[in-house]
Amino acid sequence: MSVNYNNTAAGETISLAAVSKTYMTAKGPLPVLRDIDLEVKAGEFVSFVGPSGCGKSTLLKIIAGLVSYDTGNVSVGGEAPREGREDIGFMLQQSVLMPWLNVSKNVELPFAISGRRDGNTAKRVADLLELVSLTPVAKLNPWELSGGMQQRVALARALALDPGIMLMDEPFSALDEFKREFLNIEVAQMADKLGKTTLLVTHSIGEAVLMSDRIIALGANPGRVVGDIKVDLERPRRADMVGSDRYQQLSNEVRAALASDLEGEKQ
Ligand code: ADP
Ligand code: MG
């Protein structure tokens, strides 16, 4: 089957200027993000790393319009964030597939929900399954699949409406290391091919280096940018880049940026 993604929607720009966010909790105000400035170019792949609780998920949710921000300015594809945009695909740690729908029907879901199911949908779903190498299991139910395959279904579903922006919040965290690295490479290559703007939250510095054009290191309490590291490994990315000298240097740079913030905390 030929998969034609030449007409895929182009990536969109994302810009945050002096964005701050404080949650109101039972224990009082909790500042989670302070003065976040960020310019993401169309088609750029940017990863966010930082300690638990530093506001990474909040940041993605602000961009997706799922959480409000207090001050600053956010522009997503030239517009203010808004919930339910079809130009944003969101992928989470758990694939949240519908257990009563088979793989193919799960991928079809966004078309049904958005009222965009038409004569082209079956072909589009078949192409998406081909893209993520799931054609042989199209009729299986989610619980019959491995964790890695379930995340592929989630990926296909996030790509279904051809968004210009992909947001991924620790999508590989539940996978074992081998599967994870394999999927890292595939998704990095796919992002290249499709030209989507991609934001990835990850706990893995190695994963960030392997996949991204740029890595934003965040410090905690409140979350703020403590490092902005350009990843100059050539594209397409390959598994054998893991452990190369440049890969090690870049990993160390990210680690140093994160560590410098922790040292500040001790003082
Ligand atoms: P991360 O993804 O980096 O681990 P989060 O953005 O999930 O961080 O959370 C940042 C902080 O805000 C954490 O301390 C978390 O407990 C808190 N938090 C997250 N969501 C809410 C919420 N809806 N209400 C109150 N506090 C929240
Ligand atoms: Mg999180």
- Determine, yes or no, domain membership for 151: yes
pLDDT at 15 over 60: yes
Query: Where a domain ends, among 129, 147, 162?
Result: 162
Across 80-100, average pLDDT: 91
DSSP-derived secondary structure for 115-169:
T---TTHHHHHHHHHHHTT-GGGTTS-GGGS-HHHHHHHHHHHHHTT--SEEEEE
Note the pLDDT tens digit of each residue in 108-151. Answer: 999 999 999 999 999 999 999 998 999 999 999 999 999 999 99
Residues 6+ apart with CB under 8 A from 25: none
245 and 198 in one domain?
Answer: yes
Q: What is the CATH number of the domain that holds 219?
A: 3.40.50.300
pLDDT in the model for residue 266:
57
Residue with CA at minimum distance from ligand 1 atom 27: 23
Q: Is the pLDDT of residue 106 over 50?
A: yes
* 2 — pLDDT class (breaks 50, 70, 90): very low
Percent of the chain scoring above 70 in pLDDT: 96
- For ligand 1, is residue 23 a contact (CB within 6 Å)? yes
Question: Rounded to whole angstroms, how far apart are CA atoms 187 and 184?
Answer: 5
Check whether residue 154 and residue 173 sit in a common domain. Answer: no
pLDDT at 73: 98
| Residue 260 CA, ligand 2 centroid: distance in Å | 21
Distance 216 CA to ligand 1 centre (A): 18
- In the sheet that holds 71-76, the strands lie side by side as 28-40, 14-25, 71-76
Residues 77 and 31 in one domain: yes
Residue 2 domain flag? no
Q: How close is the Cα of 55 to the center of ligand 2, in Å?
A: 7
Q: Are residues 136 and 51 in the same domain?
A: no
- Please give the mean pLDDT across all residues of the chain: 92
pLDDT of residue 141: 96
Q: Mean of the pLDDT values across residues 16-33?
A: 97
Is the model more confident about 36 or about 181? 36
In the DSSP assignment, the letter for residue 188 is H
61 lines ligand 1 (CB under 6 A): no
- Please give the structure tokens belonging to residue 188: 């990095």
Residue 145 one-letter amino acid:
L
One domain for residues 157 and 186? no
Kindly give, in sequence order, each residue whose CB lies less than 8 Å from that of residue 27, ignoring residues fewer than 6 positions away.
none
Residue 71 belongs to some domain of the structure:
yes
Q: Which pLDDT value is given to residue 4?
A: 52
Number of domains in the chain: 2
Q: Is residue 229 part of a domain?
A: yes
If asked whether residues 155 and 194 sit together in one domain, one would say no
Q: How far is the CA of 30 from the centre of ligand 1 (A)?
A: 9
Helix or strand (DSSP H, E) at 260: helix 245-266
Residues 26 and 151 in one domain: no
Local confidence band at 93 (pLDDT 50, 70, 90 cut-offs): confident
Give 202-254 pLDDT, tens digit per residue: 999 999 999 999 999 999 999 999 999 999 999 999 999 998 999 999 999 99
- Asked if residue 225 and residue 119 are part of one domain, the reply reads no
Q: Look at residue 49 and give its three-state secondary structure.
A: strand
* 197 shares a domain with 124: no
Give the atom of ligand 1 at the shortest distance from the alpha carbon of 218.
3
Mean pLDDT score, 155-170: 94
Whether 222 maps to a domain, the answer reads yes
The percent of residues in the chain predicted with pLDDT above 90, rounded, is: 82
Q: Both ends of the chain: CA-CA distance in Å?
A: 60
pLDDT classification of 10: cutoffs 50, 70, 90: confident
Q: Which of 162, 185, 203 is the last residue of a domain?
A: 162
Pocket test for ligand 1, best of 19, 23, 24, 93 (most atoms within 8 A of CB): 23
Regarding whether 255 and 174 lie in a shared domain, the answer is: yes
pLDDT at 126: 96
pLDDT given for residue 53 in this prediction = 95
Residue 25 beta carbon below 6 angstroms from any ligand 1 atom? yes
**CA-closest candidate to residue 69, choices 120, 33, 15:** 33
| Domain's final residue, options 162, 190, 206 | 162
Domain enclosing residue 154, as ranges: 99-162
Ligand 1 pocket, residue 52 CB under 6 Å? yes
The answer on 229 and 171 residing in a single domain is yes
Q: Does residue 6 form part of some domain?
A: no
Does any ligand 1 atom lie closer than 6 A to the CB of residue 58?
Answer: yes
pLDDT of residue 1: 34
Predicted TM-score (pTM) of this structure: 0.94
The ligand 1 atom nearest the CA atom of 61:
6
Q: How many CB atoms lie within 10 A of CB 240?
A: 9
In the predicted structure, residue 13 carries a pLDDT above the cut 70: yes
Asked if residue 259 and residue 176 are part of one domain, the reply reads yes
Q: What are the pLDDT digits (tens) for 53-62? A: 999 999 999 9
